[in-house]
Amino acid sequence: MKLNLKVRRLAVNKDQMRSVLKNLTEEKTPASQINLLSAVQARIQMSQSNQSKGIIMKDQSKSKSRKLRPAFIVAAIVLIVVVFFSLPEGRTLAQEIMHFFTRGETNVMPGPTATPVKWVEQTPGVAAPTATTIAPKETPITSDVEVECGTGNDPKCSIDKIRELVDFPVFALTDLPEGMYFVGATGREDFVVLSYRSPETYTESGWLNGFLLIQEEPYTGEPDQLNTKLGADADIQTVQIGSVMGDYVKGTYDGNQNPPKWNSDTDSQTLRWVDHGILFTMYMMGTLPELTRDDLAALAATLTVGPVGESGIPAVESPTPTSEPFDIRDVYPLSLVEAEELSGFTLLTPSILPETLTFIGANFDEKTQIVTFFYKTNGMETGLVIREQLVPKVGVCEVCSFVRGKFVYGSDEDVVSEDAAIETVQIGNLTGQYLVGIGWVNDTNDISGWKWESEPYRKRVRFQTGGLGVEVWGEGYSWSQEDLISIAASLK
């Protein structure tokens, strides 16, 4: 593999260069095979020895010689660098010097700013109409390769076919991770993308799947190829991939937040490296199968330009669900009118809503006398929940305010953590409370494992008005405090 690595990128002085090269030749190359530094040093010493044995030079010649010595030493060092980086050991060092990711100054995704919410007026007491569904735009065809192989959303070519269509070697997997199959390949004249996936499978944790993408392009040495900027909190790790080094990171920019922010907790992993003159980027999304950093590095090391058999032929495999798909309307089966008839009070509904929301339905809990209705964000599983309850003359109003306390499994008492950050907010002429956090969660099978989760995926406002306790609840990172207060203030 040839690397376009210029000597001037090594910003070290002569002494540092000598030390670095000496360490490298001693640590990375057995002395019995190569000792470039010793050879150059021996030549310099021999030259000096010959001069001391009887060559008498005039003062002017001595002066000229002294001027030439630094230039000779620098030239020798440059020669060492050039020769060293042409050897396998030098190429390994070049891989270590290369960096495939850079951290940004913040966790906010470069470029986009927060998208403003577009509000739509609603008729109080009437469910929000279904938002107009905009048909997705077709991905434009931009190359002859895509004409033959389809777009990135629908890759169709086999490995053999994509190899015929581009002028650089295409590496592929022979042995696929357990449960995965080859979907297809596509790309353009200057890069290809190989797509693998696992069938969607239903488990106790819900629906799981996995997507593996491998992007390949000739490495040009241009800085822009390696200028992939990550969030400030990204944990970039160096990994060994066969005989070369690469960079690994877990996480991605979360599009659920507005603007997108870096999230290291997502099930998204990226591996980047250069080998055989090709820049590789491997993306793993999902947890089926569960692949670790080392698993991905080992998988990457098996990429080959040789035959891959059935692993290079597109296959279509339909998921075999083991449970009925979940329908959110089963949870909210009532209309607003039906919910009012069951509860015995008139519901307050928003007079403004973001245009992306669609009314799904309502339910009524006879025990707590709470009506809950849900607006779903189009194309996502997030949305807006509104809960309302008549303030009881005797007993607890669950949605009137947040109450701190100790969580007891099985108890009907609705409490938040003692250290939960409850903020007092103004809702029009009313005073309410604002709270950020998912709530009580348990990641174990032990009933004592319940803990308060303050992750800002869920945001809630509670207040009282006209004899009703009201909770406005935003599900998803994109909701802001201002959004929820605006909706709460519009309830009529």
pLDDT value at residue 483: 95
- Domains of the chain by residue range: 7-97, 104-312, 328-489
Mean pLDDT confidence for 215-228: 90
pLDDT value at residue 84: 44
What percentage of the chain has pLDDT greater than the value 90? 52
pLDDT value at residue 372: 97
Distances in Å between the Cα of 435 and the Cα atoms of 95, 129, 456, 477 are: 48, 29, 9, 14
Angle between helices 36-52 and 14-27 in degrees, nearest 10: 130
Mean pLDDT confidence for 68-94: 47
- Rounded distance between C-alpha atoms, residue 182 and residue 165, angstroms: 18
In a 13 Å sphere around the CA of 490, the CA atoms on its Cβ side amount to 21
What percentage of the chain has pLDDT greater than the value 70? 72
Q: Which of 14-28, 227-241, 368-382 has the lowest mean pLDDT?
A: 14-28
Per-residue confidence band for 408, with pLDDT thresholds at 50, 70 and 90: confident
CATH number 3.40.1000 is the correct assignment for the domain at 328-489 = yes
Asked if the bond preceding 307 is cis, omega within 30° of 0, the reply is: no
Q: Please give the residue that has the higher pLDDT: either 110 or 187.
A: 187
Q: Please give the residue that has the higher pLDDT: either 80 or 431.
A: 431
In this predicted structure, the answer to whether residue 82 has a pLDDT above a threshold of 60 is no
pLDDT value at residue 317: 53
CB-based contacts of 263, cutoff 8 Å, min separation 6: 231, 251, 252, 253, 254, 257
Per-residue confidence band for 314, with pLDDT thresholds at 50, 70 and 90: very high
In this predicted structure, the answer to whether residue 30 has a pLDDT above a threshold of 80 is no
pLDDT value at residue 261: 87
Dihedral sign of CA atoms 486, 487, 488, 492 in order? positive
pLDDT in tens, 340-381: 999 999 999 999 999 989 999 999 999 999 999 999 988 777
Average pLDDT along the chain: 79
In this predicted structure, the answer to whether residue 12 has a pLDDT above a threshold of 90 is no
pLDDT value at residue 167: 96
Name the range with the highest mean pLDDT among 27-41, 134-148, 472-486: 472-486
- Rounded distance between C-alpha atoms, residue 82 and residue 7, angstroms: 8
pLDDT value at residue 114: 62
Mean pLDDT confidence for 149-160: 93
